[in-house]
Chains A and B, each alone.
Chain A
């Protein structure tokens, strides 16, 4: 193994765990900050660092979720449901051991699925032409919007904003200006990394700086954490099903960890002999949550590597690392650079092993790191964000744009509105424009667009997803009406 990849593995795994363990940072912030720094590294080295942070932050995020009822990263929120009650009844060590073991299982399971799926991907990917990639990107953006249940309108308007942001500037084919308002600084358009840094890193810094200070105080852990692996064996069915949900949901663009966790948790509760313990400290609940979310990062690489379509914000950021190094993910990658793909898989596998060893031996050290005051942390993120934005082009304008997106990100976070649709709108909007334009050369009528099997399948999927969503909405609406009618009848009876 190359020494630089080994160092990248170490930095990614240890750094990711620490970043995940500190509530208020998260993988997205760290990746956004480190992204420009990785451009000078070899692609496999840069991607290993970023993938390490992505994959291992969720391991670390379980620690504050279990010990202080505060998820380290957003996807560890469900872990608090059963993890913290276990801590309250004096089972913190058991909860952490189970969470780490389940995360490890989920992570390895996801990578193994990715490895076994590779030959199939290599077979299918070359059949994806411009039309198919356009339709897959369109499906991705529709799923991103519809996956935000209860916030579909907000997700829709923010995804559209993302598409618009991509179009701003000098258009590269006909050289026309779009939404530049005769401003030279708008001619180059909005750089994805500047927007990402603003929306994720700067917004988080502003949020922590404006909010009240808070210093978490977790208790130290006594005893060995190795027992978790043995106990996980007792719940192997739940862990495997949760891992499978993680892989399935991770593969579908725009869906990701939350849906995988929700499905896994529901499955675990339905099949449990003690469903009443869920939310009160059920080990199966904890395992379902952690196995599902850790299986997602590897699976999310599937659409990225095979089609060049990122399924969520973090893989969208990684896409820029590929592009900078002239490694173009997509159908050709499996044919021309298979050694690179396999090197990536091995790095991901080793990463999970290193994270597990680090966690089992350093949990008490991590509990000390968690105790950083939140406003001080805001200052740290703000200082680091400077490197990310300014080092791109040494441009003050970039910093001002990132700050504006930082304020927008803060508002969205405070309103609990999704940020991811903006990023995916920008990335998928770019893919859709290029692929639609190039496919128009061969398309004479609308039927030509779906005259190939994969294109027809994707078009059918788009229609199905929309129809299913409308059907669910009507069902929910009817159920709500019936419920309110029942309430009214009850009210009338009481009045009489």
Chain B
């Protein structure tokens, strides 16, 4: 009994809802990596132990397993916090915006940086619940400013859209270079 109390005193810490779920997932992830260590790394002959290509992956994964085990123990012995699954739900909601982002990424090489950015900013603003003309116009102007700043002025590497190929020759090269 005294021992359990001491263990709690030693390990308990400030936590937030969802900490236990994250601790379990991280430990499982670390153990999966640990089980793959020998298959995913190799030891070179005639090389000192500390200079081996496998030394750092081994060190990192072993440290991950040790620390994530201790983290899980500290999570288990700390007082239970309500709202674990609501928190996990919050994490999962972010997947929707990952999809938005990836759709934007996929659209840029096809319909071009300028059109896809304007469409993305306006549509996402609508999705976020903004309905006023002022906000939607701000979103569109912001989209234009981003493209002008990064592509037109700073010449950041973003490819021109495939649909630009259907534009008149003079206009096409202008769009491909600047937008």
Contact A396 B105 (CB under 8 A): yes
The residues in B between 45 and 99 inclusive whose CB is less than 8 angstroms from any CB of A are: 47-48, 50-51, 53-54, 56-57, 59-61, 63-64, 66-68, 70-71, 74, 87, 90-91, 93-95, 97-98
| A440 close to B (CB within 8 Å) | yes
B33 contacts which of A179, A387, A394 (Cβ < 8 Å)?
A: A179
CB < 8 Å: which of B26, B67, B90 contacts A210? B90
For the complex, what is the distance from the CA of A382 to the CA of B30, rounded to whole Å? 30
Residue pair B64, A160 in contact (C-beta under 8 Å):
yes
Binds B, one of A121-129, A316-324, A403-411, A462-470: A403-411
Partner among B48, B54, B98 whose Cβ is within 8 Å of the Cβ of A440: B48
Number of interface residues of A (CB under 8 A): 71
Q: Tell me, rounded to whole Å, the shortest Cβ–Cβ distance linking A473 to chain B.
A: 8
Q: Considering the chains assembled together, what is the distance between the CA atoms of A166 and B59 in angstroms?
A: 12
Inter-chain CA distance A436–B52, complex, in Å, is 10
| Complex interface: chain B residues within 8 A of A436 (CB) | 50-51
Nearest residue, chain A, Cβ from B52: A174
Query: A225 → chain B, closest Cβ, in Å?
Result: 29
Contact of A391 with B150 at beta-carbon distance under 8 Å, contacts A410-B91, A436-B50 already known: yes
With both chains docked as a complex, state the minimum distance between the C-beta of B46 and any C-beta of chain A, in angstroms: 10
Q: How many residue pairs bridge A and B at CB < 8 Å?
A: 195
CB distance from A3 to the nearest CB of B (A): 15
Decide yes or no whether A358 CB sits under 8 A from chain B.
no
Q: A160-B60, A379-B128 are in contact. Are A406 and B18 (CB under 8 A)?
A: no
Q: Are B102 and A403 in contact (CB under 8 A)?
A: yes
Residue in B10, B67, B124, B157 whose CB lies within 8 Å of A477: B10
The answer to whether B16 and A157 touch across the interface, beta carbons within 8 angstroms, is no
Task: For A376, give its contact among B60, B63, B90, B135 (CB under 8 Å).
Answer: B135
A20 to B128, CA, bound (A): 24
A382-B100 CB under 8 A given contacts A180-B40, A394-B158, A414-B18: yes
Whether A375 lies near B26 (C-beta < 8 A) is: no
Cα distance, A37 to B147, chains bound together (Å): 13
Task: Determine if B154 and A406 form an interchain contact, defined as CB atoms under 8 angstroms apart.
Answer: no
Is A480 positioned at the interface, with any CB of B under 8 Å from its CB?
A: yes
Shortest CB distance B52–A (Å): 9
Whether A447 is near chain B, meaning CB under 8 Å from some CB there, is: no
Is B129 engaged at the interface, CB distance under 8 Å to the other chain?
A: yes
Contacts of B18 in A (CB 8 A): 411, 414-415
Residues of A284-302 at the interface with B, using a CB-CB cut-off of 8 Å, are none
B152 to chain A, nearest CB (A): 12
Across the interface, do B128 and A157 meet the contact criterion of CB distance under 8 Å? no
Query: In residues 103-123 of chain A, which contact B (Cβ within 8 Å)?
Result: none
Q: Say yes or no: is B112 at the interface (Cβ < 8 Å to chain A).
A: no
- The winner among B54, B61, B138, B156 for most chain A CB atoms within 10 A is B156
Listed from nearest, the 7 A-B pairs whose CB atoms lie closest are A157-B67, A160-B63, A156-B67, A164-B60, A153-B71, A163-B60, A206-B94
A to B CB contacts below 8 Å, 13 in the list? A150-B13, A150-B14, A157-B26, A177-B40, A210-B90, A386-B101, A386-B104, A386-B108, A407-B91, A414-B18, A429-B60, A437-B51, A481-B6
Besides A207-B94, A383-B142, 13 more A-B contacts (Cβ < 8 Å) are A150-B14, A160-B64, A163-B63, A180-B40, A181-B40, A206-B98, A213-B129, A386-B105, A386-B108, A396-B102, A437-B50, A440-B50, A480-B9
